[in-house]
Amino acid sequence: MARIALVTGGMGGIGTAICQRLAKAGYTVVTTYSRPGREQQWLADQQEQGYAFHAYQCDVADFDACQAMAEQVRRDVGEVDILVNNAGITKDTTFRKMSKLDWDLVLRTDLDSVFNVTKPFVELMMDRNFGRIINISSINGQKGQFGQTNYSAAKAGMHGFTKSLAQEVAKKGVTVNTISPGYIATEMVMAVKEEVRHAIIAGIPVGRLGSPEEVAELVVFLASENAGFITGANIAINGGQHMC
């Protein structure tokens, strides 16, 4: 029986690539979305490309909603073996101008969600002596970024979570890792002004943006049996833009 992978926020650029690559690797793929409206078109588009995904509406910032989603996935699809915490938002502004609302929205969606979604699955992973938890962070959680105190704090917090949980569950066959992408050629990045995009690329030693598919390949490796000795790691995929 195929293992089941859950990808939160799977309908964005990186999320879609992760869902597709996991499906190609033989996983049954479940994803979440926050607001109804575009999920039917996304599912139809994926169906046309040969992908049959399961999708559930869930506010990942809401603990009770995540509990309910987990139970629904369990009933409809089965027990989750691979969890990819990918959902996230930005509310960028300088700290001086940042409202408490913008701080709370980003921390709840980007960091609290990691607790909310992991909590209902990790114990059963331990009971089955296999599990993969992969948290999608950011280069800006490593180095910080002007105008992103909220986002950078949340993404840095993800890796603190990763390192601590990894130690707790390692003996039960469950690994927990972070991936920190740099600038990736998603629709959002490609929509910025060309001169801004060229300035970004000029700061990347490999001389280009990353692709969502490259992030997805790393996810699939960390999800595999072959990655069982990797846990508590933060793997940068940023073209050399930040090295630590």
What is the phi/psi pair of residue 208, to 5°?
A: -160, 170
Residues in the chain: 244
How many whole angstroms separate alpha carbon 84 and alpha carbon 7?
5
Give the C-alpha separation, 241 to 84, whole Å: 24
How far, in Å, are 19, 54, 55, 126, 243 from residue 31 at the CA level? 8, 6, 5, 22, 31
| Known catalytic residue at 151 | yes
Q: Which of 131, 28, 120, 15 is nearest to 65 (CA)?
A: 120
User: Catalytic residue among 27, 33, 151, 183, which?
Assistant: 151
Answer whether 37's CB lies under 8 Å from 14's CB. Answer: no
Helix, strand, coil abundance in the chain, percent, nearest 5: 50, 15, 35
The residues annotated with a catalytic role in the active site are 151
